[in-house]
Amino acid sequence: MTHDIVSGDEAASTGPLAGTLVVDLSRALAGPHAGMMLGDLGARVVKIEAVGSGDETRRWGPPFVGPENDRQSSYFLSCNRNKESLALDLKSAADIRILTALLERADVVIENFRTGVMDRLGLSMTRLHEINPRLVILSITGFGHDGPEAARAGYDQIVQGEAGLMSITGSGPDDPQRVGVPIADLLSGMYGAYGVLAALIERTTTGVGTVVRTSLLSAVVGVHAFQGTRVTVADEVPQAQGNHHPSIAPYGLFECADGSVQISVGNESLWQRLCERFGIDGADPLLVDNAQRVRHRGHTIEVVERAFAAFNAAELLAALSEAGIPAGTVRSLDEVYRWDQAISQGLLLEVEHPTLGPIELPGPPIRFFTTDGDAERETTKRRHLPPPLLDEHGPSIREWLGEGATR
């Protein structure tokens, strides 16, 4: 169903953050992703962009879509739904007055400039809290706002390497690979939004806002999970090993007659089912428990793939499902967005873009429900703003600010 074009107030009128005003000074991906998450939750998000050029992701492509005289970057479209655009020159005293009037009304401000830039703009954390003591300030940097390398610019792939992620991603130790999405940017945006929500809750008690800081470095280290404790506790240095789990076997991508399937044999009960269904010798001393299967991973893979060799992928997935063994295929992204299960979870939404018309976007990953007895009613936000044109909402925001914008 195509959604009508709606104003920021109307689009943000539902959701847990309805009535919350977010001023998004960020650009590229980390900060904008955090702002989009808050917008998905119902906040009104005003995106501040540079006059004339806007967010640099407006020029990141191809692919670009739309009419030749008004091309839109699909990259920009990916991280800026549920926002209004206001173009300001932050070196202009008049535009700083407009921003100040907006900040006076805001609940949250997001910035991801390099360390020191906000101070040079006259918008230090102290100054922001002078303007509005209730502001929750989210500051995202590349390597942290302090420490010996605070001044370094943060770019996703560089941080993926520096934070160790590339060393454990790839076909093997000599094949470091980046994750296929800018995961450091995305994770820092997610951690940032999570911190903002905690600060908003704290503000209900204290009455004042706080500064929430995270970084691309912190976000990647924050998801090292068991790979991190392999270093800190077990004194092992993990290495990339392709599509197989470092601590569980068999768990990964396995070849069959016409392709491959993924299986996750996470306990001994599942291992016994696999052995019984596919004629694997569970008494093999190299396969008797998970520790042995991990130590002899090459042998484990060889045995499993030999058992799978007689099956095509569709037959194999059916047999695995019948045996109750977790399994799946590897879908291309276009297959994901056609998958009825993904669609059922609200992971594809349609908005009406002012120049592109109806477009489909990846949807928010969270849904909300209320309960009444045994029944549930979904309350997930259903109306979404399309990613804005540059300064599309400038006139209406200036009118809304009124005299406060010219003080």
Buried b (16+ CB within 10 A) or exposed e, 123-136: bebeebbebbeebb
The C-alpha atoms of residue 255 and residue 246 are separated, in whole angstroms, by: 18
Active-site choice (40, 107, 185, 391): 185
Q: Which long-range contacts (CB under 8 A, 24 or more apart) does 168-171 make?
A: 168/227, 168/238, 168/239, 168/240, 169/240, 170/240, 170/242, 171/240, 171/242
Q: CA torsion, points 8, 49, 73, 34, in degrees to nearest 10? A: -70
Other beta carbons within 10 angstroms of residue 333's beta carbon come to 9
Active site residue 174: no
Phi, psi of 95, rounded to the nearest 5 degrees: -75, -30
Which of 305, 382, 380, 373 shows the shortest CA–CA distance to 349?
A: 382
Asked whether the beta carbons of 17 and 38 are under 8 A apart, the reply is yes
Across 30-119, the runs of DSSP E, i.e. the strands, are 44-50, 64-65, 72-73, 84-88, 108-111
Asked whether the beta carbons of 42 and 17 are under 8 A apart, the reply is yes
Query: Which residues have a Cβ under 8 Å from the Cβ of 311 and sit 6 or more positions away?
Result: 256, 257, 319
Buried b (16+ CB within 10 A) or exposed e, 158-189: bbbebbbbbbbbbeeeeebebbeebbbbbbbb
Catalytic machinery residues = 185
